[in-house]
Amino acid sequence: MSLPNILIYALLAILILSLTIIIVSTIYFTFLLIPIKKFSTNFTIEDGLKKSEFSQNELNEDKVEFSFTSRFGYILKGQIFVRDLQKVVFFNHGVTWTLYGMYKYMIPFLSKDYTCILFDSKGHGESGGGFPTYEYYEKYDLYDCYHSIIEFLRERFLGNDISQDTISYKPIVGLFGESMGAAITLQSLNLFHHGEISFCILDSPFSDLEKLCKFQLEKSLKIKILAKIVFNFSKLLVYLLARFDINKIKPIEIDPKVNVPILLFHGEQDNLIPNFMSNQIYEKRKGIALTELYIIEDSDHTKGFMLDKNFYVEKIFDFIEKAIGKP
C-alpha cells in the first residue's frame, strides 16, 4: 500500500472516530440534560427512608394532596402540610427526583410551624409535562402554584373569617430550591410582585446553563473544539425535543429591582455544578439585598444538608430572622 493511500485511510479513520465521538457524546449529553427516565415516587420514598432523610412517621404526617393544571396544559401534583397559615414555604426539587427529595429540608420548617408546599416538577414524579426545561416553563409553574395555593388556603381554612386581614391574606412566603429547583426558584423571582416573597433559599444552584454545559463538556472531552461541536448539536436536539433554548436559561439574570433576601449553600466538592456558580450569584446580589453564601466542606452535589443538618438549620433560621425579623 502506497504512502498516500495509508494517509487517506488514516484520515478516514480519524474522521470516522471523531464523528462517532461527536454522535455518541451528543446523544449521551442531551439525554443527561433532558432525561427520559426519572426516578419513581416509590424509589425516592424508599431512598429517603434508607438515607434517614425522613422517618416513616414524618412520611405519614397529615397532608393535603393537590393538583392543578399548568398554563401550558399539563397536570402538576403536590402536597400541603398545613400549620401556621401566616408563614408559608414552597419547595422545589432537583432533576430526575421527586418532591420527596425536599422532605429533609421541609422537616425543620414544620418544627417551626410553617405551612409547607411541595410539588413534583414538570415531567417528574406524579406530574405530567414531559422533559424538564430548567426554569423555561417551570418558573411559571411555581408562580402559578403560589397563587393557586394561597387562594386555596384562604378559601379552605380562612373562608368563614370575613375580617379585612383574611380578605387581603398575605402571609410571609419563602421559596426553597435544590439544584434545578434552585434555578427555577431564582428565576421565578422576576415574576412575583414586590412583597409577595419574603426570602429565598438555594442549595447548589447553577448561574447559567450554557456556561455549565460547556464547562462540563470541556472537562469530559478535553478538546475545546470537540466540546463546542457537541454542545451545538445537543442544544439543537434539546430544542427539538423539549422546546427550550439552553442559551436562555440564566438564573443569575434577576431584575435589579427584585430585593428578595437570598441564602445560598453549595458543596465544596460539587462535581456536577461547580460552587463558583453560587459565588457568581452571591457577588451579583450582595449589593442589592441581604445575601449570604456558605460553602460546605467535603460536600458533593446537594449532600451538604445531610452532612451537617445542625449547621444548615441554624444558618437557615438565623437568615430568616434577619430577612423578616423573626424565625
pLDDT on residue 164: 46
70 has a pLDDT exceeding 90: yes
Name the grid cell of 284. Answer: 451579583
Backbone φ and ψ for 96, nearest 5 degrees, come out as: 75, -10
Give 148-201 pLDDT, tens digit per residue: 999 999 999 887 665 545 557 899 999 999 999 999 999 999 999 999 999 999
Q: Locate CATH 3.40.50.1820 in the chain.
A: 38-208+249-324
pLDDT on residue 288: 95
Cβ burial of 307 (10 Å; 0-12, 13-18, 19+) is: middle
The pTM score is 0.94
209 has a pLDDT exceeding 90: yes
pLDDT on residue 106: 98
| CATH-assigned architecture of domain 38-208+249-324 | 3-Layer(aba) Sandwich (3.40)
Per-residue DSSP letter, 32: H
223 has a pLDDT exceeding 60: yes
112 has a pLDDT exceeding 50: yes
CA distance readout (Å), 66 to 51, 62, 119, 157, 295: 27, 13, 9, 15, 35
Q: How far apart are CA 324 and CA 17, in angstroms?
A: 58
pLDDT on residue 8: 74
The fraction of the chain above a pLDDT of 90, given in percent, is: 87
pLDDT on residue 1: 57
SS3 233: helix
pLDDT on residue 163: 55
- Non-local CB neighbours of 61 within 8 Å, separated by 6+ positions: 81, 110
SS3 232: helix
Q: How far apart are CA 220 and CA 274, in angstroms?
A: 14
Answer yes or no: are the C-beta atoms of 207 and 280 closer than 8 Å. yes
Answer yes or no: are the C-beta atoms of 187 and 208 closer than 8 Å. no
267 has a pLDDT exceeding 80: yes
Among residues 63, 174, 207, 180, which one has the least CA distance to residue 121?
Answer: 180
Diameter over CA atoms, the chain: 95
Is the sign of the CA dihedral 227, 233, 238, 243 positive or negative? positive
Answer yes or no: are the C-beta atoms of 67 and 77 closer than 8 Å. yes
pLDDT on residue 98: 98
pLDDT, average across residues 208-233:
95
